[in-house]
Amino acid sequence: MYASDLGTEQLWSLIAYSLAVLLLVSLMLVLSHLLGQRRRGRAIDEPFESGIVSVGSGRLRLSVAYFVVAILFVIFDLEVVFLYAWAVAFEAVGVAGFVEALIFILVLVAALAYLWREGALDWGPRQSSLDRLEDRT
C-alpha cells in the first residue's frame, strides 16, 4: 500500500499518532533528566545496576530441582498456547477439534501425574523407591 493510495484522513491520523509518540518520548526523557538523581552512588558503578548495592557473591549455586521445575513450567506453559489457539477456533473445528483437544489435555494430565508420582515437583529431599513402598503399606 503506497502513501498516495491512503486517504488524507488516514494519513493525518498516522502523522498525529507519530507526533504524539515522539512528544511523549521526549517529555519522558526531559522529565527524567530534570527530576533524576544528580550524584553518583556506589550502586551506579556496579556491572548490574538496579539502585541496590550488591551483597555477597554472584556465584550462588542453585539446586537442580529449580531448573527441572523451570523446564517443566516452560513445557506446560507452551501447552497453554496450543489450547488458547484451539479455544479461539472452537466453533470452526467442531466436535472433532473438541475430541482432539480433550485427548491433548488427557495426555497433559497423565504427564503431570507421572511427574508428580516420580517426585519431579518435590523440593525436599528425595525418598528412595523402597521408602515410598513402605510408606504406602
Q: Which domains does the chain have, with CATH numbers?
A: 64-124 (1.20.58.1610)
Global pTM reads 0.45
Could you please report the per-residue DSSP string of the chain? --TTTS-HHHHHHHHHHHHHHHHHHHHHHHHHHHHS--S--GGGGSSS-SSS---S-S-PPPPHHHHHHHHHHHHHHHHHHHHHHHHHTHHHHHHHHHHHHHHHHHHHHHHHHHHHHHTTT--SPPPPHHHHHHHH-
Q: Check residue 78 and give its pLDDT.
A: 86
Does the structure show a pLDDT above 60 at 65? yes
Q: Which residue has the higher pLDDT, 33 or 68?
A: 33
Does the structure show a pLDDT above 80 at 33? yes
Does the structure show a pLDDT above 80 at 64? no
